[in-house]
């Protein structure tokens, strides 16, 4: 038996709810648009570019350029001269269609128009040239008679630049696709080593920053005089601009004369000669008859990454530690747990949530990092990561398409990481 008299909740959304919805969308639209335009749009555009044979030089779209002058240089009124336009297409590849030139002729110059492509209306000259081939050039010559007013006014033809309009194909918007970019990057010898270096850098840079942060948080967790000062100081590496600290490291670790750190080591008798921390790919060393290659430059950039980002993890870990209630520690104390046991069995499990979140974030950000390695080594000496490779391909080798293809690989690897993390991440807090 159904009783229709029991009131049911309404099925449709009411007017108030609709208004709230509309207000929410209005408030979100600006954010949505800018994110769409500057982040999501370029993300898709990057896929587009990665399938196109586009070079850095292709970005400069084909343009018509002109030089104008009078020949010979007029000396007296009534002289017959030629107004000459030297016109060319700036592009070596793309023709330009429907080229129209507009120019204003200086007063006092009597043109006798002999070209059917051109028309004169008062002082304004309009010419239609049709199509100019790639790298095409030609001259337009119009006879003219100089009047006294021209010589007096002192206005010359080139003072007033001719304006061109025209259509040209843009390689970026055409429907010409190729797989060459991907073929090129996957078949290069470097690619797999670049990928491996990226992974080493990401994993050890992340772990380094986390471990340093954990230790720094431990020593600042107890209250003492000057703790706030020290906390501010420990954040310096993160707050200072990357260019400043990167160049400070470069100078500090310089292997040439003037390198402070090497001079220190040699003065203390720790090393024989200067170590090229940022320029040397491998340092061979022998243990028990086995020779290992120690990746020097890679280790240095990993150390830099850990140094620069330990403040961030330190800050979050410290905040979490200070929010753990002291009851547990008191109970553990009474039960006779030693300090290390308290750390291992109480603090660490409590910190696991924030540690895993930090690991995830830092892992992705470290993988995305470009500036640090670019400024320290420029990707030389076995430190070229995928992100540096994007720059190298697109702007150093000037092959935008190949750079975009590497960027696609960066994004794909990132997606794989994200999937793995979501699969295995703890679901509780964050």
Q: Tell which positions 141-170 bind another protein, by CB under 8 A.
A: 170
Residue 81 CB, nearest approach to another protein (Å): 37
Residue 104 CB, nearest approach to another protein (Å): 24
For position 412 contacting another protein by CB under 8 A, the verdict is: no
Identify whether the C-beta of residue 87 lies closer than 8 Å to the C-beta of residue 66. yes
CA distance 406 to 141: 50
* Contact pattern from residue 106 through residue 125 relative to another protein, giving x for each residue in contact according to CB under 8 A and a dash for the rest: --------------------
From the list 116-124, 134-142, 155-163, 364-372, the region that binds another protein by CB under 8 A is: 364-372
Please select the residue that binds another protein; options are 65, 153, 179, 233, rule is CB under 8 A: 233
For position 15 contacting another protein by CB under 8 A, the verdict is: no
For position 194 contacting another protein by CB under 8 A, the verdict is: no
Alpha-helical runs (H) found in 147-222:
148-153, 180-187, 190-220
Cα dihedral 272, 273, 276, 282 sign: negative
Please select the residue that binds another protein; options are 3, 4, 8, 60, rule is CB under 8 A: 60
CA distance 325 to 155: 85
Burial 62-95 (b: 16+ CB within 10 A, else e): bebebebebeeebeeeebebebebebbbebeebb
How many residues make contact with another protein (CB under 8 A)? 98
For position 42 contacting another protein by CB under 8 A, the verdict is: yes
**Coil, strand or helix: which one is 76?**
coil
Please select the residue that binds another protein; options are 100, 172, 255, 283, rule is CB under 8 A: 172
CA distance 357 to 363: 10
Closest CA to 193 of 326, 415, 15, 386: 386
For position 331 contacting another protein by CB under 8 A, the verdict is: no
Intra-chain end-to-end CA distance of the chain, in Å:
48
CA distance 237 to 133: 56
For position 190 contacting another protein by CB under 8 A, the verdict is: no
For position 46 contacting another protein by CB under 8 A, the verdict is: yes
For position 235 contacting another protein by CB under 8 A, the verdict is: yes
* Contact pattern from residue 236 through residue 265 relative to another protein, giving x for each residue in contact according to CB under 8 A and a dash for the rest: xx-xxxxxxx-xxx-xx----xxxx-xxx-
CA distance 182 to 195: 15
Q: What are phi and psi of 268, to 5 degrees?
A: -80, -5
For position 31 contacting another protein by CB under 8 A, the verdict is: yes
Site residues for another protein, 289-328, by CB under 8 A, read 307, 315-316, 319-320, 323
Residue 384 CB, nearest approach to another protein (Å): 13
For position 39 contacting another protein by CB under 8 A, the verdict is: yes
Burial 209-247 (b: 16+ CB within 10 A, else e): bbebbbebbeebeeeeeeeeeebeebeebbeeebeebbe
For position 9 contacting another protein by CB under 8 A, the verdict is: no
Please select the residue that binds another protein; options are 24, 57, 153, 416, rule is CB under 8 A: 24
Residue 212 CB, nearest approach to another protein (Å): 8
From the list 2-10, 75-83, 128-136, 213-221, the region that binds another protein by CB under 8 A is: 213-221
Site residues for another protein, 337-356, by CB under 8 A, read 338-340, 354
CA distance 361 to 354: 10
Identify whether the C-beta of residue 27 lies closer than 8 Å to the C-beta of residue 154. no
Residue 157 CB, nearest approach to another protein (Å): 27
- Residue number with CB closer to another protein (35 or 82): 35
Q: Could you give the C-alpha distances from 82 to 99, 120, 153, 398, in angstroms and in order?
A: 22, 16, 19, 43
Residue 27 CB, nearest approach to another protein (Å): 4
Please select the residue that binds another protein; options are 86, 93, 371, 396, rule is CB under 8 A: 371
């Amino acid at each position: 038996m159904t009783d229709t008299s029991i009131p049911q909740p309404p099925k449709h959304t009411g007017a108030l709810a609709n208004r709230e919805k509309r207000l929410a969308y209005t408030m979100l639209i600006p954010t949505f648009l800018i994110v769409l335009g500057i982040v999501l749009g370029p993300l898709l555009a990057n896929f587009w570019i990665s399938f196109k044979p586009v070079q850095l030089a292709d970005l400069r779209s084909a343009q018509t350029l002109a030089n104008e002058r009078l020949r010979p240089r007029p000396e007296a009124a009534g002289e017959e001269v030629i107004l000459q336009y030297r016109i060319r297409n700036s592009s070596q590849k793309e023709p330009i269609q429907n080229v129209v030139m507009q120019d204003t002729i200086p007063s006092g110059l009597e043109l006798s128009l002999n070209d059917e492509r051109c028309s004169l209306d008062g002082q304004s000259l309009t010419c239609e040239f049709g199509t100019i081939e790639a790298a095409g050039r030609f001259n337009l010559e119009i006879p003219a008679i100089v009047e006294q007013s021209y010589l007096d006014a002192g206005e010359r033809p080139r003072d007033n630049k001719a304006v061109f309009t025209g259509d040209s194909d843009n390689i970026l918007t055409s429907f010409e696709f190729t797989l060459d970019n991907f073929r090129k990057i996957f078949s290069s010898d470097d690619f797999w080593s670049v990928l491996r270096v990226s992974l080493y850098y990401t994993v050890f840079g992340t772990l380094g920053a986390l471990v340093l942060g954990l230790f720094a948080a431990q020593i600042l967790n107890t209250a003492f005089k000057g703790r706030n000062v020290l906390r501010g100081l420990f954040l310096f590496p993160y707050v200072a601009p990357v260019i400043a600290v990167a160049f400070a490291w470069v100078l500090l670790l310089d292997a040439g004369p003037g390198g402070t750190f090497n001079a220190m080591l040699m003065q203390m008798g720790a090393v024989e000669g200067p170590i090229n921390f940022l320029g040397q790919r491998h340092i061979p060393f022998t243990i028990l008859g086995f020779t290992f290659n120690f990746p020097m430059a890679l280790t240095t950039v990993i150390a830099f990454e850990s140094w620069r980002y330990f403040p961030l993890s330190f800050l979050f870990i410290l905040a979490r530690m200070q929010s753990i209630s002291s009851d547990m520690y008191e109970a553990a104390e009474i039960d006779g747990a030693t300090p290390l046991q308290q750390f291992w069995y109480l603090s660490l499990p409590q910190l696991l949530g924030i540690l895993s979140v930090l690991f995830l974030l830092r892992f992705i950000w470290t993988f995305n990092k470009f500036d640090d390695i670019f400024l320290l080594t420029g990707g030389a000496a076995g430190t070229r990561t995928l992100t540096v490779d994007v720059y190298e391909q697109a702007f150093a080798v000037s092959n935008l398409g190949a750079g975009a293809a590497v960027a696609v690989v960066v994004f794909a690897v990132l997606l794989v990481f994200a999937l793995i993390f979501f699969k295995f991440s703890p679901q509780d807090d964050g």
